[in-house]
């Protein structure tokens, strides 16, 4: 979505009071900024709509994925086309997985 003239992707995890976002926003919640350049390195393939974001995590990266309906899909390396990981997401659920 556009935010102050820039694209913004954001996923809020209520239990953690954490926003995972591609740009800092005004909020009292903890924020983990996932640079847009990082998002461009991956793509998501599934049959149903999924909201997903790749975020920095420790020494690597983690994918967070949420969906209204149960579904599964794959994180793809945009440069090589190789499958990085596969995920199954329950209806109205959030899945996190460290990327290899």
In the three-class reduction of DSSP (H, G, I as helix; E, B as strand; rest coil), residue 37 is classed as helix
Mean pLDDT of 13-38: 91
Tell me how far apart the alpha carbons of residues 54 and 52 are, in angstroms, rounded to a whole number: 7
Q: How far is CA 26 from the centre of its chain?
A: 20
Q: What is the pLDDT of residues 44-98, one digit of tens each?
A: 999 999 999 999 888 899 999 999 999 999 999 999 999 999 999 999 999 999 9
Provide the whole-model pTM: 0.84
- Degrees (nearest 5) of the Cα angle 82, 86, 90? 155
């Amino acid at each position: 979505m556009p935010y102050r003239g820039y694209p913004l992707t954001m996923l809020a995890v209520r239990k953690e009071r954490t926003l995972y976002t591609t740009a800092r926003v005004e909020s009292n919640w903890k924020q983990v900024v996932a640079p847009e350049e990082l998002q461009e390195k991956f793509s998501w393939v599934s049959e149903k709509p999924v909201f997903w974001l790749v975020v920095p995590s420790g020494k690597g990266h983690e994918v967070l994925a949420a969906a209204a309906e149960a579904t599964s899909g794959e994180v793809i390396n945009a440069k090589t086309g190789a499958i990085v990981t596969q995920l199954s997401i329950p209806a109205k659920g959030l899945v996190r997985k460290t990327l290899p």
